[in-house]
Amino acid sequence: LDLGCFYVKTGQVLSTRVDLFSKPYTDRLRILQDSLPPVDAQSIRKIISEELCGGGDLSELLRELDDEPLGTASIAQVHRGVLNDGREVAVKVLRPNMEPVLRGDIANLKVFALTLRGRLPVDYYPVFCELERALDGELDFLNEAQSAQKVAASVRHDPLGQELDAPLVVPLPIPGMATRKVLVMDFVKGTPLSKLEERAKELGIELDSTAGQMLGRQILEALTTAYGRMIFSSGFIHGDPHPGNIFILEGGKVALIDCGQVAQLFREQRLLVAEAILAASIYDGSRGMVELLANCVRKFGVTFFDGQEDEDACAASVALYLFGEKDVIFPGGYSKEEFSSKSPLRQLKSFPMELVLLGRASVLVKGVAARLGVDWSVAKKWAPLAKDAITALCSEDECRLPAWALQSAMHRDDAGASERLRFRDAARGCASLVRRWGIEKAASMLASQKKEEMSKE
């Protein structure tokens, strides 16, 4: 806690890894998820006044503002408020004088990473360089406001552009109430995932009971579906999914907050992720499957230190670490344990930031499944979405817009378009279905042909 900032963020990630660390350590680290020492209320009110009211009284906009924060994180803290029209809101305020501290933290971490290069499981220097570049987004709440709208649109659409019910809630910004240092958004009332165990006990529910398992599966289904749609409907990913940013609402519905850290996967990257997930979901240990996974990883920009006996096995193991089943056996004798001398992560020379944030999502889901004691497969859950993404992204006749740019991404009240079905729309829809059938048929024939060739070899 005394070190603050990025050291706190590291602890937040480690607190979810019950598969790596014993319960006393992860329980202790969980206090970092939403319980940091707060900035005093007077300073917070002054910042809000200067940012939203020109230095005037907060009563211009707010009827109420709680002095006690709802949560305090490494970069900002959040207070409950009520607008003058009666709407309940959450007011997020950047902690004062935070930017120079953050920049200093990263500079120190880069020095440590260079000093310990070759002695840690991963070369963290390029990772910290990427985090440094991502700081501008996290320290500017105008960016976060736009990101929240993109994430909300992404979770409401499938890879084929169809609008669906959102699997979870994403609080949206109140129009006109966002600056670089203050963000006013929808209020969600619930329990942070980091405190779910305590809340369940208060209600008399044990997480390993039948009711607890049902709740666990409901939470995992919401998170897995939401991240699958983010990856494959738009490539726009919420990049900070620690349990303090995940709320469980009444009835078991899930909310995902804090869109300050995000990543954008572009067309080729999404295709590579789709191929890797499909391969991981049916991985059988064959050499052909190892080579397929390895090629996906290398094409994404992952590089390895020289001197590998079998670089394909190492690269495939990285893909299986991210997306594989919990009991999968890594090829080449590599270990699933991150701190083992045989971990494939020790051989990484560079690892793109987009894949780091994508990995955080899959690692989070695996960590939550382990904590709740639920058997869960990320790859199998994402495989149908990956197939749809390949169908949508491989069309030569049409470049499909990402979900956040579609007309249906707007609020329905704002769309203003006629609901009458036009002939050209129906014709376009039929053509799209025929084209999708043709692509899937060709892909099936190609897979059968490759399987026959491999069996002959």
The residues that are catalytic are: 240
CA distance 358 to 231: 8
Going by C-alpha positions, the residue among 134, 135, 364, 153 that lies closest to residue 245 is 364
CA distance 138 to 145: 11
Going by C-alpha positions, the residue among 202, 220, 247 that lies closest to residue 71 is 247
DSSP 3-state percent helix, strand, coil across the chain (nearest 5): 55, 10, 35
CA angle 437, 441, 447 (to 5 degrees): 145
CA angle 141, 410, 48 (to 5 degrees): 25
CA-to-CA separations, 47 to 71, 211, 329, in angstroms, rounded: 17, 44, 53
CA distance 154 to 227: 9
Taking a C-beta distance cutoff of 8 angstroms, is the pair 219, 254 a contact? yes
Place of tokens 């042909």: 449
- Contacts of residue 345, Cβ cutoff 8 Å, sequence gap at least 6: 121, 122, 318, 321, 338
Q: Give the pairing type, strands 88-94 and 182-186.
A: antiparallel
